[in-house]
Structure 1
Amino acid sequence: MVETVHLSHMPPELALFAALYTDVENASFLKDQLLAGNADFEYAFIDASMVLSTTHVLAATFRAMNDYINDRLKSRNVHSEIVFCLSPNNNIGEAFRRFGVSETTKDLLVLKVATTPQVTLDSVSQHLSSNIHGKECAFDDASFRKIADVDRLRKVYKLGAPQTSKGKGGSKPVNGTTSTSQDKEVDTIRHLETQILGVMALRGAT
């Protein structure tokens, strides 16, 4: 279920490919490939529990791609820059510890920027299907609402305490909730998303 994303104001040939996985069994292997500098594994491997929404991660991706186009990368490549751009501060190592894949990652977001013509939907799909042991799911807000660790996101971005009780994925609808409760949940996530985007933008201004 690798999806193609075309970000506004980006060259059409600079496509973004995104895939989301749950119950990943080989996160340690994937991290080892990154640490070894294996070019075949040049992706942004992100712990999906640290992503609140598609807007959250695409904002970081847009900034990284824009810096790539303008030769302003602060890290090794555009994929490591995506992870760095999720961070609320300028500590690259801390960004990878908080947002990057770790040995214990179970929910994984994978992003690949088509920096060469050889990077295509087919090539990315085939490589990921062969090397990631997990369950594919849709790259959408509904998936992230089930995965996101809202309490940890609030802590990392130094935001206020949650207003409602939360399970693994933060405050989310449970059986028997009314549509009003679900609407409040969506409003809460949107408000948190706005706060996070503000923190990310503030870091970019410093």
Structure 2
Amino acid sequence: MVEFPVDTHPGHSLHLLLFKDVTNSNELVEAMKAGTLSPELAFFTATLVPSTFPVLVAAHKALLAQSRDNLATRTLHSELIYNYSGSKHISEALRRFGINETSSYILVGRFDATPEDLKATRGLIQGSEINLEELSKEASQSLILKYYKITPAELEVSSLEEAVTCRIAARDIL
């Protein structure tokens, strides 16, 4: 677990936790659909996240939308996943970058988490929490390239992390 202050929004932070060998994804998805998930969380398919930096850019965008009363999704945490996506299609973004019933490698995000929230989060997920440094080792470069439409020529002048971050930051103006 790592806490990242969101410097552009004083007083806000994003906690990220990484889990492997998760066995209850189906229950988590059902709780999200029913609106009974407590605490509210963002669940990412971790293989589509090359590093934490693009997630932090998406967090900034989500908090900015909330501060303007302009969320495109129902909650701040679903807005985080939506903003992580390179797509303007909400359902596609949540389906592709969020978890599904068979997900076993999950990145969890929680804004402004209290110690109780973190304890409850760990209690919800049946899997092994691992260090966030493992995130880049398990990233599926081929899927990330496909979903973000990153070309080999682009990777000659930037990293995968930079290309994803660029897509996230520029999505609304393209």
Secondary structure of the corresponding residue to residue 22 of structure 2 = coil
Secondary structure of the corresponding residue to residue 38 of structure 2 = helix
Match of 1:3 in 2: 2
What are the Cα deviations for residues 55-90 of structure 1, in whole angstroms up to 9, with x where unaligned?
Answer: 111111111112112212110011000000011121
Structure 2 letter corresponding to 1:130:
G
Contact 1:33 1:41 in 2 (8 A): no
- Which runs of structure 2 are paired with 1:7-46 in the superposition (5 Å)? 7-12=6-11, 14-46=12-44
How many residues align structurally?
173
Which has the larger Rg?
Answer: 1
* Structure 2 length-normalised TM: 0.91
* CA deviation after TM superposition for structure 1 residue 32, in Å: 0.7
Contact 2:18 2:135 in 1 (8 A): no
Instruction: Point out where structure 1 has 5 or more consecutive residues left out of the alignment.
Output: 163-186
* CA deviation after TM superposition for structure 1 residue 16, in Å: 1.8
Specify whether residues 161 and 97 from structure 1 end up closer, same or farther in structure 2 by C-alpha distance, changes over 3 A only: farther
Match of 1:197 in 2: 165
Secondary structure of the corresponding residue to residue 72 of structure 1 = coil
1:159 counterpart = 2:150: yes
Match of 1:126 in 2: 119
Distance 1:95 1:89 in 2: 6
* CA deviation after TM superposition for structure 1 residue 110, in Å: 0.8
Contact 1:83 1:99 in 2 (8 A): yes
Distance 1:39 1:57 in 2: 21
Contact 1:34 1:41 in 2 (8 A): no
Distance 2:39 2:100 in 1: 15
Match of 1:179 in 2: none
- Structure 1 segments of 4 or more deviating over 4 A? none
Distance 2:13 2:84 in 1: 19
Distance 2:13 2:89 in 1: 28
- Which runs of structure 2 are paired with 1:142-181 in the superposition (5 Å)? 142-161=133-152
* Structure 1 length-normalised TM: 0.78
Match of 1:138 in 2: 131
* CA deviation after TM superposition for structure 1 residue 202, in Å: 2.4
* CA deviation after TM superposition for structure 1 residue 15, in Å: 2.4
> Please, which moves more after superposition, 83-92 or 195-204?
195-204
* CA deviation after TM superposition for structure 1 residue 161, in Å: 4.8
Distance 2:101 2:152 in 1: 28
> Please, which moves more after superposition, 15-24 or 76-85?
15-24
